[in-house]
Structure 1
Amino acid sequence: MEKYHIHLRTVLAFVGLIGLLPAVSSAQSATYPVDSTYTVKGSYEKMVQYRPDIVTALGVVDEYINTTPDVVYKSIGERKLHLDIYGPRTPGKKPAPIIFMIHGGGWSSGTKSHMDAMARDLAFNGYLAVAVEYRLSPEIQYPAGIEDLQDAVQWIAENGARYGGDGKKIVVLGASAGAHLASFLGTTENDLLPYKQQKSRYIKGIVNIDGIVSFIHPEASQEGKSAGRWLGGGRDTHWHNWTEASPLEYVDKKSPPILFVNGAYPRFHAGRDSLVARYQDYGTYYHIFEFSDAPHTFWFFYPWYNPMMYKILDFLDHIL
């Protein structure tokens, strides 16, 4: 573990890391509906009642990395979608592999800034980390958010070189709902869907941090209102969408290696073991790292942040 550099800043979340999001993005003038219920600060306030020892991780400071915030990768009328790009301060001899990062929030809330700490530490360890904004269910329903993410992958594959990245080496990483979306991008890259008419081979790995891989698996029975808002309706009325949006349905011999980092609640890795069984059948590399004591949203906080990052860096070293 000493080969990795995770020089972390930490502050207690009550200092006010991230407050409620405004109804209008600060990077643009177009207005759109926003669900601001999911924040790092709110997660801290809930969790500290049960774990008073937790501390929020912020990652390395700017002087150690290069940051390029709010790069526009897509416009829909006046609505613009952005990327935050984090890279090593000193470029390597070769272009850096790209870690494409997707925030969580039940497909309805959250912001790309939630990936800031991990992105900083990944950049400090030689990767080009890209945190992406995508449209959420208060604004528009499935499959628009996935289309945004597919467009963002295509954009960074084509434009990553100007930021020092290797567009042919992309790993998708997500947390919670973002982990589901990362898994979907990775498992469907070689599939044609009604809203995706072109295959690609950019994605070399998946990091799933406490996210489901199926909406229709028996273990996913607790997925209800939040999933339904995003998928256009409930499981009974919109079964097609619930099935089509499930990464497990697309696993094949071309699916990329995957790392699961999970907390203590089985609900948040619904379908994982079935996916792993298919990976075993195909001989595809996978790894599971599970915290026995970690609640959901553990990735924001010590004492879980460091061991999580070491596992992620180990996985990236192994597959890249």
Structure 2
Amino acid sequence: MIRHALLATALLLTGCASHEGRPSNARIGSVGPVAVTVTRDFVYTPAHWPQPLKADLYKPAGNGPFPAVVMIHGGGWEGRSRDDMNDISQRVAERGYVVLNMSYRFAPQWHFPAQLQDVQQAIIWLREHASDLNVLKNRIGAWGYSAGAHLAALAGVTSPDDKWFVEGTRVQAVVAGGTPVDLRYYKNGPLTNGLIGASYERNPDLWREASPLALVSGDDPPMFLYHGTFDITVGDNNAHAMYQALNANGIPAELYLMRGLEHLSTFIVDRPVDNGIDFLDLYLRTAQPKLTGRSDEAGSIRR
């Protein structure tokens, strides 16, 4: 009942949106919808991983080759499940993408960078199986919401000069909704402290390394940011700050703001998802992607 009420309110407000940075050559609905097959509950982590992790694989009909997307759920880094992203995964796959909808290790049992390393391993898995799946190794994106958006953005901006970079884990596009872009905004938050495992005063460098905003550089992939303007869980100042930083570094970026929507209602409405897929079409399907570093070989994760 609560979800239906939120959805009804959100639908009334979906016309109240602003969209900055959308290029004139953006295309809508360039593929699909196509049929999708789903393989559930397979382990994508190698045998030596600290905790076996499962994912669901969505594969569109056809012979490809396909671009691919790693899908990352939210939940404050300490809960929820990849089931939250089932609908978005299905919709992205129907537009001709192979989608890996992943689980990751939870805080506070596992501290950063464990969650980033899980995302990196999911990217490596896709590249290692690219031939079997007919996936284009250099056309892989990351998509997340809330804590998952933080991890998607972090995977996008972690580059060879950064401490936690792993060869073969760069992506060519990021879609991030309701994103906490700088954990230092939340130095006293129980969720951020649970993720980091140390106070900001004790380890400020680690807080910086876990903050996508702090790592933006000129070799980062294009990024689509969407956010609700009434989001009091993760303020839309996060999206504005990230958009400005990307622009300042010459990175193609779009900022899609849903006026009057808060954290949950922004997640459940359709229009940001439709625009996010259009964004992926532009950078992963219809245009030569902005290649960032060597992205066609799997690497190894430092743990």
- Common fold by TM > 0.5: yes
Unaligned runs of 5+ in 1: 1-13, 15-44, 56-62
Partner of 2:125: 155
Unaligned runs of 5+ in 2: 12-33, 285-303
> Contact (CA 8 Å) 1:157, 1:202: kept in 2 or not?
no
Partner of 1:318: 282
* Alpha-carbon distance in 2 for matches of 1:148, 1:256: 19
The alpha-carbon deviation at position 79 of structure 1 amounts to 3.3
* Alpha-carbon distance in 2 for matches of 1:310, 1:50: 19
Residue 135, structure 1, aligned to residue 99, structure 2:
no
Residue of structure 1 aligned with 2:146, choices 164, 171, 176: 176
Partner of 2:177: 209
**What is the letter of the counterpart of residue 241 of structure 2?**
S
Residue 249, structure 1, aligned to residue 219, structure 2:
no
- Give the TM-score of the pair, scaled to structure 1: 0.73
Residue 79, structure 1, aligned to residue 44, structure 2:
no
* Alpha-carbon distance in 2 for matches of 1:272, 1:51: 22
The alpha-carbon deviation at position 132 of structure 1 amounts to 0.8
* Alpha-carbon distance in 1 for matches of 2:6, 2:59: 36
Partner of 1:279: 246
Residue of structure 2 aligned with 1:66, choices 29, 32, 37: 37
Deviation per CA, 1:17-52, whole angstroms, max 9, x where unpaired? xxxxxxxxxxxxxxxxxxxxxxxxxxxx3x556665
Distance 1:78 1:172, change over 3 A: closer
Partner of 2:296: none
Deviation per CA, 1:227-258, whole angstroms, max 9, x where unpaired? 10111033333322211101112111101110
Residue of structure 2 aligned with 1:227, choices 171, 182, 192: 192
* Alpha-carbon distance in 1 for matches of 2:193, 2:272: 30
**What is the letter of the counterpart of residue 168 of structure 1?**
N
**What is the letter of the counterpart of residue 225 of structure 2?**
F
SS of alignment partner, residue 150 of structure 2? helix
Distance 1:90 1:147, change over 3 A: same
**What is the letter of the counterpart of residue 105 of structure 1?**
G
The alpha-carbon deviation at position 77 of structure 1 amounts to 6.4
> Contact (CA 8 Å) 2:243, 2:255: kept in 1 or not?
no
> Contact (CA 8 Å) 2:155, 2:170: kept in 1 or not?
no
* Alpha-carbon distance in 2 for matches of 1:78, 1:100: 21
The alpha-carbon deviation at position 208 of structure 1 amounts to 0.8
SS of alignment partner, residue 147 of structure 1? helix
* Alpha-carbon distance in 2 for matches of 1:225, 1:98: 34
**What is the letter of the counterpart of residue 118 of structure 2?**
D
Deviation per CA, 1:261-317, whole angstroms, max 9, x where unpaired? 11122634444333323322332210011110222123553xx22x11220122112
**What is the letter of the counterpart of residue 70 of structure 1?**
D
**What is the letter of the counterpart of residue 191 of structure 2?**
S
> Contact (CA 8 Å) 1:214, 1:270: kept in 2 or not?
no
**What is the letter of the counterpart of residue 279 of structure 1?**
L
> Contact (CA 8 Å) 1:83, 1:132: kept in 2 or not?
yes
Runs of 4 or more above 6 Å deviation: none
> Contact (CA 8 Å) 1:87, 1:164: kept in 2 or not?
no
Partner of 2:295: none
The alpha-carbon deviation at position 137 of structure 1 amounts to 0.5
Distance 1:78 1:222, change over 3 A: closer
Residue 89, structure 1, aligned to residue 54, structure 2:
no
How many pairs does the alignment contain?
Answer: 259
> Contact (CA 8 Å) 1:108, 1:136: kept in 2 or not?
yes
**What is the letter of the counterpart of residue 274 of structure 1?**
A
The alpha-carbon deviation at position 116 of structure 1 amounts to 0.5
**What is the letter of the counterpart of residue 228 of structure 2?**
G
> Contact (CA 8 Å) 1:189, 1:201: kept in 2 or not?
no
SS of alignment partner, residue 199 of structure 1? coil
**Percent of residue pairs identical:** 25
Distance 1:280 1:256, change over 3 A: same
Partner of 2:288: none
- Give the TM-score of the pair, scaled to structure 2: 0.77
The alpha-carbon deviation at position 162 of structure 1 amounts to 1.4
* Alpha-carbon distance in 1 for matches of 2:9, 2:162: 47
